Structure formats: C-alpha cells, structure tokens
Structure 1
C-alpha cells in the first residue's frame, strides 16, 4: 500500500511538474533592448548608408518594423520612466533629467508605489533582470531597480557615471564591481563588454523558465569612445575628419588625474568612433540572438529593439553627417519628430510575420499593457498605453490612440501633441507669456517645416485643451500650464 501511495504521489508530482513546465514554456521570454541616443535613421534598415547594422537588420527581416513609434521623451531618464510605468510624461513621476544632488551618485528616484513592467512580469512568474543604464533612482532608494520589480541589476545606476565607458566600477545589485585596470587614468576594461557578459549570463541562467531581460545599452551615447580594436579598425580613416573635432572647453575633460567624470573626453575621429559604437551595438544584438539559438529558446522569445530618444550632438556625435534622423526635424531634447520618433523592431517566431511593416502610432507607454496582455495579467495599475499585441500578431482588432502627448519641463519648457496626422508643438513655455503654437500636417509635411496653425484654429484649440488636460502637476518637475 505504501509503495502504491508513493507511486501515486510521485506520479502526481510529475504531472504537476509537467504542467508547470508546460505553462512556463507557453509564456514567451521577453527581451527589450534599448539603445541610448540612437537616431531613427542610424540603422541601415531605416536608411543609414554610411555603415551597416546587419544583425539589427536581420531582426527587421525576421519580424516587424514600425515606422511611427515614439520614445517616451526627448532625453534619457523620462523616456525610461514612461517605459517602466506605462505613463506618458504628463503623468509619469520622472519627466526630465534631475540629479540627486551635487557630488552624489544617481538621479532622483521614480515613484516607488507605481506598478512597473517588471512588477507585471514578476507577477506572472518571470525572472526579471536589467542590464545597462538605469537612471531612475540611486541605490537603496524607492527607485532602485531592485525596488521596482527587478531580481537583478548590473550596470550604471547613475546616468552621469555612464558618460564614461571606462569607469572604475559598475553596480551589481547593491554591490560595486570594480573593473580591471580602470582608474580614470588607465583605460583597460570597456564597460559595455562587461554588461553584455552579464546579459548573456542572465539569459543562460534562466533558460528553463520565463524571463524578462531589460537591456538599456549605453551605446552610442557620448562620450564618443571605443577600444582600439578590430571593430574600430573597420572605420579608422574612412570618413573625412581632416579637421579634428574638439569638445567645447566647458564640457571637456580627458582621462587623467584631474578628470571631471561627468564630462566627455575629446575625440580626434568622432565619426569613425560613432560608427564603431553603433556597429558594436549591432554585434551585441547579434550575440544575444545567437545565445537564444544556442539555448534552443529563440522560438519562444519576443525580442524588441528600440532607442530612448533622437540622436545627440554632444561629445562629437554628428547626426547631420550620418543623417541620424532620416531627414526628420530636431535631435535629442526636441519634441519635433527627430527628437522623439524611434526605430522599433519586434521578432517573435511563428507569432510575428516576418518582413512586415506597421505604421501604427505607438509609444513607450504601450509596452506595459502589451506585455500584460501577453502574460495575461489584468492588474497593471495606471497606464496611458494601449496593447499593441494585435498589430504584432497581424490581427485586425487593434485599438488606436486618440492622441499622443509629451511634455519636457527643461530647455525652457516644451509640449507636443500628435492628433492623427496633425502635430502640435509649443516651445519656451517657461520663458514667454504667449509662446508660439506650431502646427504641422505630418501627412504632407513630415519634416515639420510649414507651420499651418493660423489656418487651423479649431485643431489648435483642441490640441491646447489636450495639453491642459494631460498635464498633471509635478513638484519635482513644475511647469506652467
């Protein structure tokens, strides 16, 4: 009888284990790759001609490419906040880059009470890891990634520290991990390589259960710098750089005893190095995809690639030379299309049809409801997003945004609304009593050169009402209404 009961018990446990494994396998792994300051036109599959991005292009060939996807904001921290919270910049807690304090490491923390993407996926049984640049709260604060739903973090907690690619240390959870040979004088260990290793280790470690890997790469954000290796040699001397770029003196600080670490090193060949940095980013993406294939989990993994805002002009970056916005107006910090329209590519074998393109208007704050629908979690807290899962799966029942809204309380105060094909922009809100309202028809004027506000007063009035309605007061980021 005991033997019989034991057999029954073991059989029951086996069935339960099999059911759990089957359930886990039915949940796709999710990898969200976020480039830093990569422009809409910086990928060859989006029109880049001066260098190639074959691995990212392969993602587009195997999946879906969006042509009207938007970042959460025009700079780093608020873009990441909209992604994590699913709220646009009129609602999310971090709306600009704001330091914790002079000489203190890390930025002000985002609201600890919000339900993040990582919280949603953790609720569904996912292992969660973040690898790269955080910028949403210093260690042990409510904004610490370990307090925002992540099991593991490796990389730069502080955005200012991420201005240097050869830092003395990175963070692993709450511990500093010192990098061999780096002391702000000697440059030995390239931090992105170490972050990449941690990313691949996380994927390998969690191959038998569903995982969410948030991979906010630092590349190709300034400083513009690269190891002198085979990747750099591919571009060395390729571009006309007879007049070496020199950083403005007030933001120049080379490696050495007197380094000001938040500034950038000078660079004699910034074009070659920028192309190297994007190429290295592409190589990292290829390595992630290869690891999924090696582990036999590629078919059950959704991989998304995008960028946090438009291309920068700091540190020697030259979006004009590379046509980094694909001709769109504006760069990083702008709410014109070049500052916020982002590449967006998604691959999910046997779910997303290969080689497809979508003109769905979507944004970072759509990711939380999208992932929640994928994993069947209903309680996700506040969101301004919609699930774009129907578009990913090629279905017809896709909801549409009635409008999109952005605000940027820095750079004089800026707001923007997209309403169908109409785009409204106001600059200098904090500096002028009656700032000019600009209105563009993106269907006929995608580069935003013809202001037609005077001819369309009803559209202008509707957009102004949206701007007023969608702005919620923030003590950290006050802004005139």
Structure 2
C-alpha cells in the first residue's frame, strides 16, 4: 500500500509539473536608460555584454522596436497597459511626496493581472515607479504576487539607499550618503533568483525591472569590471567640485568606466538568470524578453557620445527622435524561436500585452493599442502591421511623434511660430537629418490628424496639449 501511495503521489506530482509546463514561463528583462547601441549585438565596441549577446545569438533580434516614450514612468505604464502614451494613464514622471509617483488607477488592466488570470505566479524585482506603497498603483494591487526593490523611481537614483521594499514591508539597509555599504542591485538580484527557485514547479511571470545603467554612476567598492574599464579607457579622474550630500546624483570621478561597468554588471545578472533557468531545467519552457525603457541618459556625468549609446541615431533620453525611443529588443526561447534571426518588424511596448495574451490564451482587453507579435516570434502565421505608432512627451513644452510606414514626424509643441512638425523618411534617413516637412505638406497634415486623434484628454492638466 505504501508503494502504491508513493506511486500515486509521484504520478500526481509529475502530472502537475506537466500541466505547468503547458504554460511557458515568461521572464521580461527591462534595462533602465540603456541605448540602442549599448550592446555588442547592436554594434557596441567598448562595453562587454556577452550574456545578452548570447540571447540574441540564440534568439531573435529586433531592429525597429520602440519604447513607450522617452522617460521612465510613462514608458513603463505603456508596457504594463498595452496602450501608447496618448492613452495610458501615466504620461509623465509625476512625483508624489515623500516617496513615490502618481498611481495607476484601480481599474487598470496590467500585464501582471492578465498573467494572474491565466494561472501564473507573478513577481517584480527592481524599480516600479507607478504608484506609492498602499496606493491603487502599488504593484501588489496591479497583479504582482511579490515585489522587491524600489517602489519610487526617484529613490532609485541612489544604488546605496537607506531602504528598499519587500511587498509593503520597508527593508532598512545599513547605508547613508557617508556610508555606502549595501549595493541594492545585488539584493534585488538574489531575490529574483530565489523567486525562480521557489516557483519552478508552476508557471511564472518574472518582471526584472532593473535599475542599471540609470544614473547615478555607482558601483560596489570592489568591482573588477570598473577597474578593468578604467585601464582599458586610460581614464583620468575628473575633479569632484563638491562633496556629495546625498541629494541628486553622487559625483563620479570615472564616468566612462563606471557606466561601462554598470552595463556589464547588468549583463552578468542576465547571465545568472539564464544559468538558473538552465540549472532547474526550465530554459526550454521559458520565453525571455530583453529591452530598455528609453534611450541613453546624460545624467550624473554620463557621456553617451563616448560609447555611441544611441547607435548612430539622433537623440537620447527625453527626445522623441529615434535615439530617445528606439530600443534593443531581443527574444529568446530555445526550440520555439529560431536562432540567429533578425526582424525589422516595427513594434512598440504596447505590443507586449496582446502578445502575452495570445501566448497564454487570454482575451485581449478593450482599448489596447498594440498588436500581438507572436507570429513573428514563432515564425508562424501572418504578422499584422501597425497603421501607425504614436508617442507623447510632456517636458520641455511637450512633444509628439508619429511613425507611419517610412515616414516619421516629430512635433515640438513649444514652437508656436510654425506647425512645429519635422518630417523624416526613415528608409533613406534613419538619423533624421533631412527635414522634409516643407516638401511634403500632405504627409505632415496626415500625421497631424493622427496625432490629434491619438491624444485622449487626461485629468492631469500638464499632460494635455494646448493646441490639440
């Protein structure tokens, strides 16, 4: 009888695991302020990224994929909701004192909520920025079973914070601006690896919302990559004009080496995640997505031109030119996604929700702006194409951008003397140097009409355009 009971238990466990494996795990890795050109797979020459490059080698690399917009919170809102920044609830970096950002509304349908409805365990490890602890936007109220990291994106500008959050529990750390001891990314990474270990027998959605390589340019005291890059670049220390008082970004004497080491540290973390999946036998049943929330930054002493971080495109973070919103995007799934492929499919953050809905056989929510890109990922079926892609940015007077086929329009809302539109043919001018607005008034008018109908009024006054 004991043998029979043992056999039944083992059989039940095996069936449970098989059912779990019918649902692929999804690991979504989001870098913070990483440019299109910061990875070896996208042409980077100075920074080592072997693990992420391996993902591209073993999977699918996109060349025309875009973030939600060109700064953190609205781009992540677009990712979570499947809506572009003319529709999604959070359209700017709206700060709430003392700690946090404007929250997503209760009614929001997010990626995490959708995965939970499909029977997945969900976890977010890193930076949130879409609602302070206990608010409607708290990750625990937006579909995540577990959260560990920075709730507030402003707090994440310091990699040696005084606290992090474990769900709604504050985790105090032995740090102050004069005592930088505990490097937060290492704690967050360990919690993420634990999540994989603890949920290996059931399907999971793991959102790795890393803070690297966002400013400040900070690393642990003993970081081999930092020392190696200082030598490789023959970088001489820059004078620190003022002692850091804990406010703003900590000054960095070796900004080139620091930024490169932060990117390589992120790459190491990605390698650890892949290794953990392989060690647990989960790699063949796990879809990994890697991308970044917006273009490269020039904050805290960073120098994106030194690394060609924008990959030759015009603009950086806070710009709606290609360098501010076109991002690296890599998808890897052994046995499902063919190795070594490249795709010029034009897509954006709002495509992920319908893609994962199709993957998990969930209905696509109403008012979603995206299209499923599962056909191009799996090389099966006909891939739909966007009629257009649309972005908003609500700083510096405001900007809009529209891409329709080969045409890309960028509008400076602060330019009241003219229409404000610039027009570029991305087939012949990907660097957006030759403004064709004067020669193509009909195209400009068409893009103006698209922009006008794509902006849904917001209850936040500064997120509305006066001229719409």
User: Within 5 A, what are the aligned runs for 1:293-312?
Assistant: 293-312=278-297
Q: In 2, are the aligned partners of 1:245 and 1:270 still within 8 Å (CA)?
A: no
Please tell me whether residue 177 in structure 1 is matched to residue 163 in structure 2. no
Matching of residue 23 in structure 1 with residue 8 in structure 2: no
2:344 maps to which residue? 359
Q: How far apart, in 1, do the equivalents of 2:366 and 2:451 lie?
A: 23
Does the 8 Å contact 2:354/2:364 carry over to 1?
A: no
Partner residue in 2 for 1:461: 445
| Residues 163-215 of structure 1: per-residue CA shift (max 9 Å, x gap) | 10001110000001122x31222011110000000110001100000000000
Identify which of 172, 179, 194 aligns with 1:186.
179
| Partner residue of 1:200 out of 187, 193, 215 | 193
- Residue 23 of structure 1 and its aligned partner are, at CA, apart by 2.4
Aligned to 2:259: 274
2:237/2:254 contact within 8 Å kept: no
1:33 aligned onto 2:29: yes
d(CA) in 2 for partners of 1:238, 1:435: 48
The CA distance in 1 between the partners of 2:157 and 2:435, in whole Å, is 37
Write the distance in 2 (CA, Å) between the matches of 1:381 and 1:22: 32
CA deviation profile, 1:428-471 (whole Å, cap 9, x unmatched) = x1462644210000000000000001111111111000000100
User: Deviation per CA, 1:258-280, whole angstroms, max 9, x where unpaired?
Assistant: 432xx001111000010100000
Matching residue of 1:70: 66
TM-score, L = length of structure 1: 0.92
Of stretches 343-352 and 395-404 in structure 1, the one that deviates more from structure 2 is 395-404
Contact 1:30/1:303 (8 A) holds in 2: yes
Aligned position for 1:118: 112
Give the aligned partner of residue 259 of structure 1: 246
Paired position in structure 2 for 1:43: 39
Match of 2:309 in 1: 324
Alignment partner of 1:130 is 2:124? yes
Does structure 1 retain, via aligned residues, the 8 Å contact 2:82–2:368? yes
1:423 aligned partner: 408
> Is the counterpart of residue 338 in structure 1 residue 313 in structure 2?
no
1:52 shift after superposition: 1.6
Aligned counterparts of 1:159 and 1:370: Cα–Cα separation in 2: 27
**Residue of structure 2 aligned with 1:226, choices 200, 219, 222:** 219
* Deviation of 1:243 (Å): 6.5
Equivalent position to 1:152, from 138, 146, 151: 146
CA–CA distance in 2 between the matches of 1:279 and 1:259?
A: 25
Aligned equivalents of 1:430, 1:438: Cα separation in 2: 13
Q: Which moved more, 1:393-402 or 1:115-124?
A: 393-402
Return the alpha-carbon distance in structure 1 between the equivalents of residues 345 and 288 of structure 2: 18
Q: Is the 8 A contact 1:245 1:269 kept in 2?
A: no
Match of 2:424 in 1: 440
1:394 is displaced (CA, Å) by: 1.1
- 8 Å CA contact 2:229–2:260 kept in 1: the answer is yes
Does structure 2 conserve the Cα–Cα contact (< 8 Å) formed by 1:253 and 1:259?
A: no
Distance 1:152 1:35 in 2: 20
Deviation by residue 1:350-391 (Cα, 9 ceiling, x = unmatched): 110011000000011100000010010115343100000000
For residue 111 of structure 1, report the CA deviation from its aligned partner: 1.9
Is the 8 Å Cα contact of residues 160 and 181 (structure 2) preserved in structure 1? yes
Once residues 123 and 49 of structure 1 are traced to their aligned partners in structure 2, the CA distance between those partners, rounded to angstroms, is 43
Q: Could you tell me which residue of structure 2 aligns to residue 167 of structure 1?
A: 161
Whole-angstrom distance in 2 between the partners of 1:410 and 1:253: 30
Aligned residues: 461
CA distance in 1: counterparts of 2:118 and 2:111, whole angstroms = 11
Instruction: Indicate yes or no: 2:343 matched with 1:347.
Output: no
Question: Pick from 100, 109, 125: which aligns with 2:103?
Answer: 109
Shift of residue 237 of structure 1? 3.1
C-alpha deviation, 1:396, in angstroms: 4.3
CA contact (8 A) 1:115 1:381 kept: no
> Which SS does the other structure have where 2:438 is aligned?
helix
Structure 1 residues 245 and 39: CA distance shift in structure 2, 3 A:
farther
Q: 1:246 to 1:47 in 2, by over 3 A?
A: farther
State how far apart, in whole Å, the 2-side matches of 1:18 and 1:105 are: 46
